Amino acid sequence: MAGDTVLAVLLGLIDMLLFVADGLADIAELPPWYIAVPVNIAMVVPLVFRRKSPLWSAYVVLVISVVHATLQLGVASVAGLAMSIYSVVVYAGRRQGLVFVGAVVVSSALQLALDQTDELFISVLFLAFGIALCWTLGEFVGARRAYDVEVEARLHLLETERDQATRIAVAEERGRIARELHDVVAHAVSVMVVQADGASYALESNPDLARRALQTISETGRGALGELRRLLDVLRSDDADGEPRVPQPDAHALAELAERMRTAGVPVELETNELGDLPAGVSLGIYRIVQESLTNTLKHAGRGATASVRVHRTGDLVEVLVSDDGAGRVPQLAGSTQRLPGGNGLIGMRERAHVYGGTLEVGPAQGGGWQVRAALPVRLDK
């Protein structure tokens, strides 16, 4: 816009100098300065916005050019129309350019007809040549801009595809390494189980054999633990590098989680029974499901919503029910029994439930609100 401003100022100064020169030369029928100056300023000001608003600028220039040319105030009307044709073709497109050129032709024809000049042929020829020149220049520059935009878009696409290909290759290699390490760990655990069974049988009849079996279990266990650590390092995200390792929460931390949610503005009612001897993985899965459910309540339930968390163990089954009375953002289809899809959080909850042989149901609750219901068995099938 700075370059267009300078150009507009120059055109305005040229017209003002021509007006002063004509005044000094005592040319008759010159308009007074208080008319000429505002018209000259109005003629060049729209050119400042010819890139940002090409159509608005062009049609304002066209209207004012009629007055400017009628008063014979200089060359700004011709130059302004030429710049406007070029700008419309470059920044608005051919179709808008054709419409504007048609308006310029009609306006110029009316002016020539009213002037009744003797040099009509020369004026028409000059008009046609000027329009053709401005259109050609606009087509060339517009094509160049479109080419540059397309090249930039293709480069961005290639960079994105390259990054995606790199990530896919890294993920595939990590998956292969993880499968190999899984086989190593699984073999080590199988050896430990066999040795432990043998040691239990030979504990009284052959203590030396039992001692060697226990030593084998110890060495195999240490090796399996090292491979397991490497496996977890492989599966860890790059973003997690450098983060401190802290103990994972479990079902005993649900009270602390509920208190944090209350502090964040969601009243939470927590109800649990005896969850003391749950396996570590199942206990962590329960915590994560409740955590994600309450996080969704905080994000989507709306202001003033309350939540209820119920975690009960009955025999070898733990049932988790998290519900809220908020409005939510996912509407329920009338008569539909299909479970509504969710984002990454819902996918993570479902995967955690399936890993431990459980089930997960998510959807609108009766009477309004949203609920998450999960059932996780305490003992996994061997």
Whether the per-residue pLDDT at 6 is higher than 60: the answer is yes
Q: What pLDDT band is residue 143 in, cutting at 50, 70 and 90?
A: confident
Residue whose C-alpha is closest to residue 329's, from 361, 364, 362, 360: 364
Residue 212 tokens, joined:
């060697």
Q: Which phi and psi (to 5°) does residue 275 adopt?
A: -125, 25
How far apart are the C-alpha atoms of 94 and 86, rounded to whole Å?
10
Q: To which H or E segment does residue 327 belong?
A: none
What is the three-class DSSP state of 338?
A: coil
Whether the per-residue pLDDT at 339 is higher than 60: the answer is no
- From first CA to last CA, the distance across the chain in angstroms is 74
Residues 6 or more apart from 56 whose CB is under 8 A from it? 46, 49
| Sign of the dihedral defined by the CA atoms of residues 271, 273, 276, 277, in that order | negative
Q: What is the pLDDT of residue 329?
A: 42
CA distances from 371 to 132, 282, 301, 328, 358 (A): 69, 20, 11, 10, 17
Mean pLDDT lowest among 88-97, 277-286, 339-348: 339-348
Q: Report pLDDT digits (tens) over 147-186.
A: 888 888 888 888 888 888 877 877 777 777 667 666 767 7
| Sign of the dihedral defined by the CA atoms of residues 162, 166, 167, 168, in that order | positive
Enumerate the β-bridge partners of residue 317: 314, 377
Q: DSSP letter for 1, please.
A: -
Q: What is the pLDDT of residue 349?
A: 83
Q: For the chain, how big is the Rg over CA atoms in Å?
A: 40
- Can you say whether residue 87 is alpha, beta or left, with left for phi > 0 and alpha for psi between -120 and 50 degrees? alpha
Strand 307-314 to strand 268-272: parallel, antiparallel, or no bridges (unpaired)? Answer: parallel
What is the three-class DSSP state of 288?
A: helix
Residue 327 tokens, joined:
């409005």
Angle at 177 between CA 174 and CA 182, to 5 degrees: 120
Q: What is the pLDDT of residue 167?
A: 79
How far apart are the C-alpha atoms of 342 and 361, rounded to whole Å?
11
Q: What pLDDT band is residue 309 in, cutting at 50, 70 and 90?
A: very high
Residue 128 tokens, joined:
């046609």
The DSSP annotation for 75-89 comes to SHHHHHHHHHHHHHH
Residue 223 tokens, joined:
């090796």
Average pLDDT over the chain, rounded to an integer: 78
Angle at 142 between CA 139 and CA 146, to 5 degrees: 135
CA distances from 184 to 108, 189, 221, 297 (A): 87, 9, 12, 42
Top mean-pLDDT range of 72-86, 244-258, 316-330: 72-86
